[in-house]
Structure 1
Amino acid sequence: MNSWANLGFDLHVELPHGIGVRAALLQTLRDAIDSGLLKPGTRLPPSRTLALDLGVARNTVADCYAELAAAGWLVTRQGSGTVVASLADAHIRGTDPSPTRPRFTYSLLPGSPDASAFPRAAWISSARRALTAAPNDAFAATDPRGRVELRNALTTYLSRARGVRVDPSRIVISASSGHGISLLARALGGAIAVDSFCLHLHRQLLVDEGLRTVPISVDESGTCTEELGSTSTRSALLTPTHQFPLGGPLTPARRATAVEWASSTGSVIIEDDYDGEFRYDRKPVGALQGIAPQQVAYLGTVSKTLSPAIRIGWMVLPDRLIEPVLATKGPYERWVSSTDQLTLADFIESGRFDSHIRKMRATYRRRRDQLVATIAQKVPHVRIEGISAGLHAVIRLPSGSEQAVLTAAQTCDLSLEGLSTFRHPDVSPVGGDGIVVGYSTPTQSQYPRTLDVLCEVLQTALR
C-alpha cells in the first residue's frame, strides 16, 4: 500500500548561487511563501522527492523543512506531509486576503440562475456515461461546428421544445450567446438594428466588432419592428420571446413585420432566445426562427437553464451564414470543451435537461409570485412589469428616482441594476426610470431576506 510519502509532485525551485545549499533552500522557500507563490495550505513535495529533483542530500531538505516548521512557516504532520502554514498569511504582502469575497451581501442582478440549484449529481452521471462511451476522436481537435453528438441532441430538443427548424449541419456550437454574437458580427459587418433598451454587454460586443448600432423603439408589445424599414441596416438583434429587459413578447403582427423586412431586404435577424424555456402566465411562445429559418440566426445557451459556468451556446444558422461563421471561428473547435459537449448531449438525451427545466420553472414561478406579493404589500405605489416569463422583472420608478434607489441599495449592501444601464447611448435619458430585478439570482435560503432588503431600499429612497 502506497503512503503519501511515496508520491512525488513538482515544485519549481531555483537555488541562488554564492551561498551554501542549505541556506539557499531556506531563503528560496521563505521568499516563495513571503511573495505568495506558495500559498497557505500548499502541500510541499516529500523531502526525498525534492532532494532528488535538486540533486542534494535528503537530510538537507528535511532539515530545512524542520527549521521552517519551527519558525511557523510550515506545518509538518505525520501521514499528512508538509504544508505551508496558515500563519504565513502574516508574511504575505500585497495580496487580497479574500479575493473571491462578493462585493455585496445581497444580489438581485439579472442574468443568472440560482447557482445552488445546479443539478450536480445528474451532471456527474451524464459526464460519466458520456466519457465512458466517447470515441477516441473526442479527445483530439474536432469539427469547428462542435461535437456531432451535441448537435444531434440539440436538433431533437430545439425542434420539440422551441419550434426551431433545424438539422445538425446548420448548428454551430459556441462558448456563449455573446460568443455567437461576436462571430455573427464579424460575418455580417455594417450597421445593425438593436432595441433602444437591450443587454448592454451584447451591444458592446457588436461595437467592439466594428458594427454601428441603430436603436429602435420598444414597448409592452416588444420591439417596434415597423421601424426596421426606415433604417439602413441589413441585420437586427432581437429577443422576440421575452424582450430584454422590459419583458414583453413580440406580438404576432410584429413578428410578421420583422420577417417581411428580412425577406424583402435580404437582411438577417439574430434571435437571442436567452430564457425561452421559462414562461408562467402565458402559452409557450416558439422561436421566430421557426417562421423564417433562412432569415433568422437563432442563438441559445445553457447559461440561464443550467449555469453560466458551463460555457456552451449554439447557433442555428441560415445556409448562407454557415461558411462565413465557420471561417471566422477557425478550422478547429478551440472554444468549447469536447467533454462538456458530450456531457450536455447525454444530459439532454437522457431527459435530465427537461426534468431540470420543469423543476426550475416551478421554482422561479414561486419566486416571481413572492416578489409580486411582497412588493404589493410593502411598496404598493410602484409598478412591476415583464413578469409573465423569464428570470427577471422590471420595477418602474417615479421619474428621477432611479439613482436614489441604487444609492440606497449600495448602502444596504444590495446589488441592483438600473434600467438606464440598458438604454442605448443615442436614446434620450428622459423618463424610463426603473430597476431590473433578477429574482433567480439568490439562493433559496437568501431569497426572503433579499426581498426584505429590496423593500427597505425602495421605502427609503421613495419616501
Structure 2
Amino acid sequence: MTVEWARGGPDLLVALDRGAGPLGVQIQDQLRAAIRDRRLSLGERLPSTRRLAALLGVSRGTVVDVYEQLLAEGYVESAVGSGTRVAAMPAGGPVRHAPDVVAAAPPRPAEVDFEYGIPDLGSVPLTAWSWAVAEATRTLPTAELGDEDPAGSRHLREVVTAYHRRVRSGCAVAEEAVVVSGFRQGLAFALATLAQHGIRRIALEDPGPREHDVIARRAGLDAVPVPVDDHGLDVGRLRETGARAVLLTPAHQCPTGVALGPSRRRDLVAWADEVDGVILEDDYDAEFRYDRQPVGSLQGLDPAHVIALGSVSKTLAPAIRLGWVLAPPRFVAGIVEEKRLSCRGAPGLDQEALALLMESGRFDRHLRRVREIYRARRDVLAAAAELAFGPDRLQGLAAGCHALLRLPEGTSERAVVATAATMGVRVNGLGHYRFVAADAEAEPGPRPPALVLGFGNVTEQQISRGIRTLAKAVRHREIS
C-alpha cells in the first residue's frame, strides 16, 4: 500500500555525529539500515531533499548525493511528481530486527463460530456512528477537549441514566454514574472500592462469565462459587458463603440463559438488606428479549444495595469501548477515585458521540433492527436444534444472543468440542464457564453436559449447518 504524505514528505529521524566522519555517508548508512529493517516500508515516501537538508542542517547537495546513491543501489525509486520512495526489497532480504523468528501460520478460521458474547458485527450502525462522531467534533466546545471530569462526560451520564430509567426501569441519576472504558474496567473499579469499604468476600455464579473470579482476586477479594439452577442464582446457598457482595447476570444468566426468578429477586434484595451487602448487576444484553417485555434492572428494585454495570459492547460493538457504573452514593466517590488514579478516562469525543447517538434516537432504532435479526436467528437455531437433537434441548431462548444446548447424558463436552473443531465449527462447552476455585476442596460438583451457542455473529445458514455438524460430532463421539 502506498502511503500518501503531505507536500514535502514526512519528517525522518536521522542522528548525525559531526565528529564521526562524512555526513553524507552517515545519512546513507542510516537510511539503508532503516529500509533493510523495514522501519521504512515499501512505497513510503522520503522527505524531499530540501526538507531533509533543513531538518539535518546539511546542504541540499549532500542529500541529493545520498538519494542518488541509494537510487543507484536499488534501495529507493524516484518518479516525477511522486518524489523519492522506498523500493521493493528482494525476496528473502534481511530483516535484522528478528533474525531467528519464523511467524507461525495463523489457525484456519472456523466456518461456523458459535462464540458467546459477540454481536452481529455486520450490523454495527457505522453510518450513524460516523454521524455522531462528526456531530460531536463539530459541536463539542474546545474547552471540553482537555482532561475530562473524573466521573466522565456529564452529558453522557445524563443520557445513560435517562436511558436506564426509561428502558431498564432503573432510578439512577447522573451524579450516581461513572463512565468507564467497558464493563471490565468498571468492575475492577467497583471491586476495589468494595474492598476499601471492608468487603472481603464476593460470591460469583457457577457457571458464570469467564475470569470474573480472577478480576475479584486481583482486587483483593476472596471469590466463592454459588450454584445456578433453572431459576438463577441460588440465594439460599449464597447465604451460606458468608459473602457480603455478589456478582450476577440476572436478566439473562451467562451462560445458562435463565432469568433470575421473581422470588429469587426478592430473596436477593432481602439478603443484601440483612448483611448490608452489595449486588453487582452485570446488565450485559437485557435489551434483547423477544417474547415479552425485558425484566427490569435490579438497580431499580434496590438502589441502595445495587451497583449496575453496563456497556455498549453487546448492543453496538466491542470496539466502541465505553461503559458505565451506576452506584449508590456511598460508593461513587471511591469508584471515581479508582478511575482517576488508573487512567485519564475514556475518549471524550467518543463519549459525546455516544450521548448524541442515544439522544437522537439512532441507538434505539439500531436496537429495534438487530432485535429482529436476532429473533430470526434464534428461531432458526431452535428449529435446527429440535430437528437434530430432539425437543427441549435448548435453554435460554427468551433473551440475549446465546442459548444452552443440553447434550445426551454421558457425552464428553471436551470430546465434542474438539471433534466439532476438526469439522469447521467452533463452540465452547459449559465446563468452559465453570468456577475455578482457589481451594481444590471447594471445586463444585458436576453438571449435565451442554454446549454454549452464541448466535449473534453467525448467519441463519451458518446456524443450520453448524447444528448439523454438532449433531455429527456427538454421534461420532458416541460411536467411538
Amino acid corresponding to residue 385 of structure 1 in structure 2:
Q
2:282 equivalent to 1:277 = no
Paired residues in the alignment total 458
Q: Which moved more, 1:132-141 or 1:292-301?
A: 132-141
Aligned in 2, Cα 1:460/1:72: closer, same or farther, shift over 3 Å? Answer: farther
Give the unaligned 5+ runs of structure 1: none
Identify which of 251, 258, 261 aligns with 1:241.
Answer: 251
Match of 1:434 in 2: 450
Once the two structures are superposed, the pairs formed by residues 37-436 of structure 1 within 5 Å of their partners are: 37-69=39-71, 71-87=73-89, 90-91=92-93, 93=95, 94=98, 104-106=109-111, 107-189=113-195, 190-330=200-340, 334-380=344-390, 383-398=393-408, 399-426=410-437, 427-428=443-444, 430-436=446-452
Deviations 1:177-228 (A, max 9, x none): 1111111111112110110111122222112212111111101221112222
Amino acid corresponding to residue 10 of structure 2 in structure 1:
F
Q: Which moved more, 1:63-72 or 1:125-134?
A: 63-72
SS across alignment from 1:207: helix
2:455/2:463 contact within 8 Å kept: no
Q: Alpha-carbon deviation of 1:53?
A: 1.3
In structure 2, how many angstroms separate the alpha carbons of the residues matched to 1:377 and 1:69? 68
Amino acid corresponding to residue 323 of structure 2 in structure 1:
G
Aligned in 2, Cα 1:409/1:344: closer, same or farther, shift over 3 Å? Answer: same
Q: Alpha-carbon deviation of 1:70?
A: 5.5
In structure 1, how many angstroms separate the alpha carbons of the residues matched to 2:89 and 2:354? 43
In structure 2, how many angstroms separate the alpha carbons of the residues matched to 1:458 and 1:388? 23
1:226/1:258 contact within 8 Å kept: no
SS across alignment from 1:6: coil
Match of 2:31 in 1: 29
Give percent identity, aligned residues only: 36
Q: Alpha-carbon deviation of 1:406?
A: 2.0
1:180/1:299 contact within 8 Å kept: yes
Amino acid corresponding to residue 153 of structure 1 in structure 2:
V
1:4/1:79 contact within 8 Å kept: no
Q: Alpha-carbon deviation of 1:143?
A: 1.3
Amino acid corresponding to residue 28 of structure 1 in structure 2:
Q
Q: Alpha-carbon deviation of 1:382?
A: 8.8
Once the two structures are superposed, the pairs formed by residues 15-26 of structure 1 within 5 Å of their partners are: 15=16, 18=20, 20-26=22-28
In structure 2, how many angstroms separate the alpha carbons of the residues matched to 1:65 and 1:108? 54
Aligned Cα RMSD in Å? 2.8
Amino acid corresponding to residue 11 of structure 1 in structure 2:
L
Deviations 1:239-265 (A, max 9, x none): 110101100011110000000000121
Give the unaligned 5+ runs of structure 2: 438-442
Q: Which moved more, 1:362-371 or 1:285-294?
A: 362-371
Aligned in 2, Cα 1:59/1:332: closer, same or farther, shift over 3 Å? Answer: same
Aligned in 2, Cα 1:165/1:448: closer, same or farther, shift over 3 Å? Answer: same
2:248/2:282 contact within 8 Å kept: yes
TM-score, normalisation: structure 2 = 0.87
Aligned in 2, Cα 1:137/1:414: closer, same or farther, shift over 3 Å? Answer: farther
Aligned in 2, Cα 1:285/1:380: closer, same or farther, shift over 3 Å? Answer: same
Deviations 1:294-330 (A, max 9, x none): 1100111000011111111101101111122122222
In structure 2, how many angstroms separate the alpha carbons of the residues matched to 1:266 and 1:220? 27
Match of 2:475 in 1: 462
Amino acid corresponding to residue 234 of structure 2 in structure 1:
C
TM-score, normalisation: structure 1 = 0.90
Q: Which moved more, 1:15-24 or 1:231-240?
A: 15-24
SS across alignment from 1:172: strand
Aligned in 2, Cα 1:22/1:350: closer, same or farther, shift over 3 Å? Answer: same
Q: Alpha-carbon deviation of 1:100?
A: 11
